[in-house]
């Protein structure tokens, strides 16, 4: 897996994911657990749909 999530994209994914998980833990709706997905894609710096469509926001990988 090559990194395809970088910079601001990564920060936004982790932030939004954490906010949704905290909301779910605080008694929010069950769908707020979807925050696990953006949080993990930000932490691992890999997004499967990005790879499928050949898209990358990671500057290190764009040099190739």
Q: Could you tell me the pLDDT band of residue 61, with boundaries at 50, 70 and 90?
A: very low
H/E stretch holding 12 reads helix 7-25
pLDDT in tens, 4-60: 998 999 999 999 999 999 999 999 999 999 999 999 999 999 999 999 999 999 886
Q: Which domain holds residue 39?
A: 7-63
Cα–Cα distance list, 27 to 30, 32, 41, 50, 63 (Å): 8, 10, 24, 32, 44
**Cut 0.75: pTM above it:** yes
Neighbours of 32 (CB within 10 A): 17
The reply to whether 21 falls in a domain is yes
CA 55 – CA 17 distance, rounded (Å): 21
CA 8 – CA 40 distance, rounded (Å): 15
The reply to whether 56 falls in a domain is yes
Tally the domains of the chain. 1
The reply to whether 2 falls in a domain is no
């Amino acid at each position: 897996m090559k990194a395809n999530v970088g910079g601001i994209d990564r920060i936004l994914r982790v932030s939004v994911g954490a906010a949704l998980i905290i909301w779910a833990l605080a008694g929010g709706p069950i769908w707020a657990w979807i925050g696990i997905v953006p949080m993990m894609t930000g932490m691992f710096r890999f997004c499967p749909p990005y790879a499928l469509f050949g898209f990358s926001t990671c500057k290190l990988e764009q040099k190739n």
